[in-house]
Structure 1
């Protein structure tokens, strides 16, 4: 018997669709059978992307970020320090790791679509990785490649999550630091105010 999803108080303001709270960043590009806006979890709303960057807001709950910021990365993202999602609260990241079907279930794959001309949030890896990392950020900056926004980040520590019997779980090792985290590969990054201005011209 399925148990009802327990949503933390910090996320109860979010719209619920199909039993799941819809993260702040998600676009509503189409309508459902009742004519109501339908969330597409594969895409970020450009206006919300701008608001997240300009207002220093969590990508999941939409509320102001705290001093410590986090993201969820696969092995390749952790290696190249490039990520498509914006930072989030630790609680929001942990809720995503334990709730988002695409992350939680090993055999769940995100569908692809060419129908919606909004910022796609699909990761860089062509295949779903067998592990993910909860990343505590030490520093980060923004990169604009055409109309796509990325963050280049320097980790402070990571917590590894992997699949056991088809379900994503923490590996039990807690927070880990590595010597290479002291190095930050810094490509040409865009100042926040310049990035916001460019995104407005592109999307708004």
Structure 2
């Protein structure tokens, strides 16, 4: 019998999410697809928009009151556009340690062949792993639609006024916050 891992150290919302017992990870709200299947590789675009429009976190699905966070590479931070919807800062911090693609330097995204759902992405989006991750905390956000590589459109989330920028890079095989000296 498989038991639920101890996730009591997580932010309250994320710690109460359903768990993928094979991986021992909480299932982000944005990775549950219309058929009920869980796909950690692809975002459910409809769910992403629903969560963002209702002001709920992409990971824990609880209401966000106050600042929101976005997590991605330096290019996304510089442009102020993200394909992943907004989340609580504490949920984004948890993702930095929980998500194998983010937490471990040599873990790459699964190839298109391994994706369980038809996942598309915006023109200009790269599956290449960034050398550092940027957590932007801002006072709000907007959204728009961008052309997708498959000819359709995908939602893109636009950051509001930036309140804080935190950077994380790989040091000695682990992800650590980069501090200014």
TM-score, shorter chain, exceeding 0.5: yes
Question: Greater strand percent: which structure?
Answer: 1
Deviation at 1:108, TM superposition (A): 0.4
Supply the distance in 2 between the matched residues of 1:126 and 1:44 (Cα, whole angstroms).
Answer: 13
1:23 aligns with 2:14: no
Q: CA contact under 8 A between 2:52 and 2:58: conserved in structure 1? A: no
User: What aligned pairs does 1:1-204 form with structure 2 within 5 A after superposition?
Assistant: 6-7=7-8, 8=10, 9-17=12-20, 18-28=23-33, 38-113=37-112, 116-118=117-119, 124-145=125-146, 146-154=152-160, 155-173=162-180
- Give the conservation status (yes or no) of the 8 Å contact 1:159–1:173: no
Q: Secondary structure at the match of 1:40?
A: coil
Flag the 1:152–1:28 CA change in 2: closer, same or farther, 3 A: closer
Contact 2:31 2:39 (8 Å CA) reproduced: yes
- Displacement of 1:43 in angstroms is 1.4
Give the aligned CA root-mean-square deviation in angstroms: 2.5
**1:194 counterpart residue number:** none
Structure 1 residue runs without a partner (length 5+): 31-36, 175-204
How many residues matched? 164
Deviation at 1:70, TM superposition (A): 0.5
Higher radius of gyration, 1 or 2: 1
Q: Does the 8 Å contact 2:144/2:155 carry over to 1?
A: yes
